[in-house]
Amino acid sequence: TLESIGETKITSQNYDAEFGQATAGVVSVQTRSGGNSFNGSAFEFFLNDKFQSRNPFTQFQPDPLTGRHIPETERNQFGGSIGGPIKRNQWFFFGDYQGTRSTQGGSRLLSVPTLAARNGDLSAYGVNIYNPATRQQFPGNVVPHHMISPQALAILQLIPEPNATGRDNGTRDNYVASGSESFTENSVTARIDGRLSERVNTFGRFSIGDFLRDGPTSFGTGGGQELVSLGGVSDVINQSLAYGVDYALSSNLLADFRFGFFRYKVNVLPFDFGTQPAADAGIPGLNIDDTFSSGLPAGFIDGDGSTEPGAFEFGSGLGVNRCNCPLDQNEKQFQLVGNVTRMVRTHTIKFGADVRRAYNLRVPSDAHRSGELTFSSNRTSLQGAGGLGLATFLLGDVTNFRRYV
């Protein structure tokens, strides 16, 4: 936390031996301690959306649910510190707190399937589509209802209908999504310093930071692109503990001992963690449990979500809404350090040991664990001519599939 920093030192070259493994630089941060008098501080920073201007391209109409042109946006960062004596000239304390409450709004102009397209009529998209089984063009570029995949129809129930006029016969830029992402921080640092004798000093410090980010998706239950920075939930807890003793053996000989511990633990989860929408839609083999393979799979209509008519993305994943989820990481380290420093005339001699035990478990999901499905326009084209990824999706004809296991 900012209020707990007493001194910062940056070393870029000529490192001491104890920092011998450093390459780019060494940053040393010393936390504040209390004294014989009480001192404290308080601060607050506040910002909201009342003085923001609208984005004319994505905020040209109010949200039908909230009636707001600009999604709710607010940032409030606050905290304070206090330090003083526990027993004058012998024991001292310092503590501080920092909190952040942030709500940041975002909006996107996207494309979703038209009402006619959801019934197989793709004539408005201006592209000829072909039956991949017969290589014959669908009459009128309409996919017969009996050929439409029931699983695709079930997923389309999760994708919102157009809410804007759009362009190109209403097939592009026909949906305005808006929402607000919340961020919460609670961070505390506490430190105690003591003089056990004229020669022995000691200190102990504990710090904890708890961070939670909850970001909406463009399509709600259908997932889709993030509206601000993340389409999902990120929960992080950082902890740090330090204890040290300094012993002045003589006027020119000093020994010090340190113990340190830190833990970094993060969970990133998709917006629909714990649900089984793929299984509910009748797609087998994707939601095989209620945890790591839960939620809606990532879907890429037109493969790369490019400029093709009808292209859109749904579900969760790194390529959809920046959600490497589910992600589970637990990193921790223990450290023991002992040094002896002796001054000999104009020279200082220092030697010691630094022993560390490090542990890290990281279970990522670079490819979403409930699967990533690609629907390419090539499947409904004729030797590369025509074709529509949306038509491939309606047929339930998965072009590519991948997942992390």
The pLDDT, as a whole number, for residue 306 is 56
pLDDT band at 262 (very low <50, low <70, confident <90, very high): very high
Cis geometry, peptide bond prior to residue 160 (ω within 30 degrees of 0): no
Q: pLDDT (tens digit, 9 = 90+) per residue, 77-113? A: 999 999 999 999 999 999 999 999 999 988 899 999 9
DSSP-H helix ranges across 142-300:
150-156, 277-280
Amino acid identity of residue 6, one-letter, is G
Query: Are 59 and 69 in contact, with CB atoms under 8 Å apart?
Result: yes
Is 348 within 8 Å of 342 (Cβ atoms)?
yes
Whether the CB-CB separation of 313 and 319 falls below 8 Å is answered with yes
Rounded to whole angstroms, how far apart are CA atoms 400 and 405? 16
Alpha-carbon distance of 72 to 9, in angstroms, equals 40
Task: Quickly state the pLDDT bin for 71 (edges 50, 70, 90).
Answer: confident
Residue labelled with tokens 């011998």: 20
Q: Are 372 and 401 in contact (CB under 8 A)?
A: yes
pLDDT, position 305? 45
Could you give the CA distance from residue 37 to residue 83 in angstroms, rounded to a whole number? 8
* Per-residue pLDDT band at 304 (split at 50, 70, 90): very low
In 196-311, the DSSP E strands lie at 200-215, 232-250, 253-270, 298-301
pLDDT by residue (tens digit) across 9-54?
Answer: 998 888 877 776 777 889 989 999 999 999 999 999 998 877 778 8
Peptide bond into 277 cis (omega under 30): no
Q: Give the residue-averaged pLDDT of 314-327.
A: 95
pLDDT for 105 = 87
- The four Cα atoms 376, 272, 77, 71 give a dihedral, to 10 degrees, of 60
Q: Is-contact 314 320, C-beta < 8 A? A: yes
For residue 5, the cross-strand partners are: 31
